[in-house]
Amino acid sequence: MLNSFDPFSGMISFDAEISGNDPAAYSPEPDMTNEEYKTFKELLTPAIQRRISPLIRISIRDYLKNNGVKARGVTFEPVKAASGPVLDISPVIYIDSLYEAYRTGSLGLNDIASIIASEYFKYLEPPFKNLPDILDFKIARKRLAFRVVNTELNAELLSSVPHMDILDLSLVFYYLVNDDSGSLSYCTVTDHLINKWNLSLEKLYNTAVKNAPRLLPLSLSSIDEAVCRIIDPKAADKQDIDQSGSASGSSSGCNYDLDPGSKTGQTKKPWGAAAFVLTNTAGTHGSAVIFYKGVPEKCFELIGESYFILPSSIHELILVRESMVRDPFELTKIVRSVNSSSISRNEFLSNRVYHYSPAAGCIEYA
């Protein structure tokens, strides 16, 4: 789940997408200027307002998502009270799929307003009600992590957030609000927020890199296992894996958990797989794990040789054994083909292929 800060109002906000309400499904971007949508917006705002406190101001506007994609979102802004300021922290609830349901007649306006109000009330409970803690770095530091975006396509976003550039990618930092429901809600760390913390970029980076493996542990699976999980989520449990890491009846159909917090402290060495899927245990923004400290080296140890890194999406990477590749340019052609035909703009990471070898000691362009 992406984006977090509304530069127009100065509010600290966090993504709180309704299940299934994925802006990535809308490509090309929806027409946000048509008269039908304007009417919908004008009618929806008071319909939501009637269902919540009059002390909350409803705003519906366009929000900047990954790679410059725009999405429609509702923000709930506390009205300033005469007795003092109210902390401006709000969920952003995206409504593109709800508008589509309204446009096709699947949902009525009152149904949509009730859904949005119901979602809003969820964010008045823990852990969201504790969001004011984000202004205290001593507390917030324990929940800081990072994601990876394409530098060129996110120029507008990067102009207002602290970031670190690596190759054609950038690390963007965030405060993880919640990850209990299988999706992530978080606040992107902006220049506005890092200034409140009086924090340097170096300390922000060091804190996030230290936290990320604990908050979002990484996972390395053979590509066969990744496909198997899509077909049958219980397939991994059916594998008879011995202590050496080999799978009964298959040399590449098992998962290799690299969670440093593993209770056993053991890892399983892959055997025979040509390619692997690298992500995090949440399956969201998993491409960032390759920049966890020591991960490129650990992947080399487990794979047993140098490898190429294919940017499948912002959520995962494909690692391919060097010995399986005759011409790296063929990998680039595959990545570009898949990106153009199967990856939404919102989830695109890069058309470049990368390489890791112990001789270089770092990730480079292939």
> What rounded mean pLDDT belongs to the chain?
78
283: left (phi over 0), alpha (psi -120 to 50) or beta: left
Between residues 23 and 349, which one has the greater pLDDT? 349
Distance from C-alpha of 321 to C-alpha of 335, rounded to nearest angstrom: 16
Confidence of residue 130 (pLDDT cuts 50, 70, 90): low
3-class SS of residue 287: helix
Burial-class residue 334 by CB neighbours within 10 Å (0-12, 13-18, 19+). Answer: middle
What is the DSSP code (8-state) at residue 96?
Answer: H
Measured in whole angstroms, how far is the alpha carbon of residue 263 from the centre of its chain? 26
What is the per-residue pLDDT for 80?
60
Confidence of residue 51 (pLDDT cuts 50, 70, 90): very high
CB 190 within 8 Å of CB 174: no
**Domain regions of the chain by residue span:** 5-214, 216-365
pTM comes to 0.78
What is the per-residue pLDDT for 350?
98
279-294: per-residue pLDDT in tens? 998 888 999 999 999 9
